């Protein structure tokens, strides 16, 4: 305890938070000016993970770039794959088979659950609730097993292709997903029991990092962060893309825009994702998963090895400068990724490579509002607010 009052309200102290800090969960840095425990000013620094994804897009062909999209939001790579190929398909003006759309939606919603599970685990860990992290990661592990069986990889999935998918789902996919859907509500219930009415959790999260609805729109918030502030905006409902108009689900809305509401919104979103997946599994159509246009998707192996047309088509798609060539033009395609609006703006000059690819990353835009949310608050609230935004450094710096 300081007896001398000058020592507590004296000169502001500068505290460096990151780039290597256990609570940043990624390489980012905040320089905070403190008066005692009160945050006077926060200045975020970023770019530590800048990898030039947008520049790379101008040098890769349309299918090669799918691999890069895995690395953006590495908690839910399947959602990025999905958003990107939708943009290219819009540019090509093609419609993929219904079965493909359903599988993509199932995997995107499973990714949302995986993303929110890790978010939940990490956010709770930062506030001292260690158990939740183990629960969250255990659930994600089950999902990663499904992803691994489906795509061949746990993280770098690269599962979608322009005009379809890498391959159809495996036999037994439905049983695995249903088993997961039956087991994960139990974990959610346990988390609710541990956190939702927990005195410490509520004290640490209620009325912390508050963003009003007007500010949320002004700062470009999307996804769970926007909905926690009380704005009813979900791209799956507002601009139904792919086949989202086929499914019935609710969009949870918060009221106060604080960390606690962002927690509740994400918790309920997982339940709603489960509803979507169930409906998609019940009505999963039969048929091919790729468009039957061999100028866009690869021919089957029997065709490629068995007849000359198949071989030529295979060769043309794989060879540099012969692959998918959309007409000249530009598109902006936004999807509701787990973190918010993930937009791809693609300019095509008619060749096999994009002239310009721009990614509208939700993390980058949410991170901008961090000073607004923590200035005037306590130093210990920084980790709570940062955790609630779910900043993914791969997507932040691209």
Partner 1 sequence: MSEQHHPLVVQKIQEKYPDAVLDVADARGELTVTVNKDVIYDLMAFLKNDSELTYNFLADVTAVDYSLMEDTLMKYDYARFMLVYHLLSTEKKQRLRVKVPVHENELSIPSMASIWKVANWLERETYDMFGIIFENHPDLRRILMPDDYEGYPLRKDYPLRGRGERETFNFEQQNL
Q: Which is nearer to partner 1, 16 or 145 (CB)?
A: 16
DSSP per position, 342-390: EEEEEEE-SSSBEEEEEEE-HHHHHHHTHHHHHTTSBTTHHHHHHHHHT
* Residue 231 in contact with partner 1, rule: CB under 8 A: yes
Q: Which is nearer to partner 1, 151 or 363 (CB)?
A: 363
* Residue 59 in contact with partner 1, rule: CB under 8 A: yes
Six token digits for residue 236: 């799956």
165-171's contacts with Cβ under 8 Å and 24+ in sequence apart are 165/100, 165/103, 165/104, 165/289, 165/290, 167/289, 168/99, 168/103, 168/289, 169/103
Q: Which is nearer to partner 1, 215 or 303 (CB)?
A: 215
* Residue 293 in contact with partner 1, rule: CB under 8 A: no
* Residue 322 in contact with partner 1, rule: CB under 8 A: no
* Residue 345 in contact with partner 1, rule: CB under 8 A: yes
Q: Which is nearer to partner 1, 96 or 127 (CB)?
A: 96
* Residue 185 in contact with partner 1, rule: CB under 8 A: no
Q: Check: CB of residue 28 under 8 Å from CB of residue 396.
A: yes
Which of 163, 166, 158 minimizes the C-alpha distance to 93? 163
Closest approach of partner 1 to the CB of residue 216, in Å = 10
Closest approach of partner 1 to the CB of residue 365, in Å = 6
* Residue 234 in contact with partner 1, rule: CB under 8 A: no
Scanning 52-60, 141-149, 243-251, 258-266 for contacts with partner 1 by CB under 8 A, the matching segment is 52-60
Residue found under tokens 């037994």: 172
* Residue 91 in contact with partner 1, rule: CB under 8 A: yes
Q: What are residue 35's phi and psi, to 5 degrees?
A: -115, 105
Helix or strand holding residue 160 (H, E): strand 160-161
* Residue 292 in contact with partner 1, rule: CB under 8 A: no
Q: What are residue 42's phi and psi, to 5 degrees?
A: -130, 135
Q: Which is nearer to partner 1, 11 or 245 (CB)?
A: 245
* Residue 358 in contact with partner 1, rule: CB under 8 A: yes
Rounded to a whole number of angstroms, the distance between the first and last alpha carbons of the chain is 45
Positions that interact with partner 1 (CB under 8 A): 45-47, 50, 52, 54-56, 58-59, 90-91, 93, 215, 217-220, 231, 233, 238-239, 329-332, 334, 341, 343, 345, 347, 349, 355-356, 358, 360, 364-365, 368-369, 372, 397-398
């Amino acid at each position: 305890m300081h007896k001398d009052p000058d020592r507590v309200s004296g000169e502001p102290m500068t505290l460096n938070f990151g780039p290597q800090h256990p609570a940043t969960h990624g390489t980012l840095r905040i320089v905070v000016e403190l008066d005692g425990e009160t945050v006077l000013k926060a200045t975020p620094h970023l770019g530590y993970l800048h990898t030039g994804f947008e520049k790379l897009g101008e040098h890769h062909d349309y299918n090669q770039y799918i691999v890069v999209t895995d690395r953006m939001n590495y908690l839910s790579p399947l959602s990025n794959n999905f958003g990107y190929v939708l943009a290219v398909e819009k540019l090509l003006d093609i419609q993929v088979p219904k079965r493909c759309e359903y599988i993509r939606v199932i995997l995107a919603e499973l990714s949302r659950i995986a993303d929110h599970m890790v978010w939940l685990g990490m956010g709770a860990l930062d506030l001292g609730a260690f158990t939740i992290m183990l629960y969250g990661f255990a659930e994600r592990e089950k999902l990663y097993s499904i992803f691994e069986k489906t795509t061949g990889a746990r993280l770098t999935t690269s599962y979608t292709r322009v005009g379809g998918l890498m391959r159809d789902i495996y036999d037994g996919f439905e049983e695995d997903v249903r088993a997961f859907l039956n087991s994960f509500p139990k974990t959610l219930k346990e988390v609710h029991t541990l956190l939702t009415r927990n005195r410490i959790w509520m004290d640490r999260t209620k009325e912390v990092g508050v963003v009003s609805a007007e500010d949320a729109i002004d700062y470009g918030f999307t996804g769970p962060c926007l909905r926690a502030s009380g704005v009813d905006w979900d791209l799956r409902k507002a601009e139904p893309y792919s086949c989202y108009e086929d499914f019935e689900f609710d969009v949870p809305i918060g009221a106060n825009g604080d960390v606690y509401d962002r927690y509740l919104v994400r918790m309920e979103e997982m339940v709603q994702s489960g509803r979507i997946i169930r409906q998609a599994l019940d009505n999963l159509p039969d048929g091919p998963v790729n468009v039957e246009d061999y100028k866009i998707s690869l021919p089957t192996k029997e065709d490629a090895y068995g007849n000359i047309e198949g071989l030529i088509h295979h060769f043309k798609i794989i060879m540099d400068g012969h692959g998918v060539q959309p007409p000249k033009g530009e598109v902006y395609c936004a999807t509701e990724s787990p973190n918010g609006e993930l937009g791809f703006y693609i300019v095509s000059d008619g060749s096999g490579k994009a002239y310009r690819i721009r990614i509208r990353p939700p993390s980058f835009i949410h991170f901008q509002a961090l000073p607004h949310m923590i200035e005037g608050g306590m130093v210990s609230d920084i980790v709570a607010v940062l955790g609630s935004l779910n900043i993914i450094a791969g997507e932040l710096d691209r």
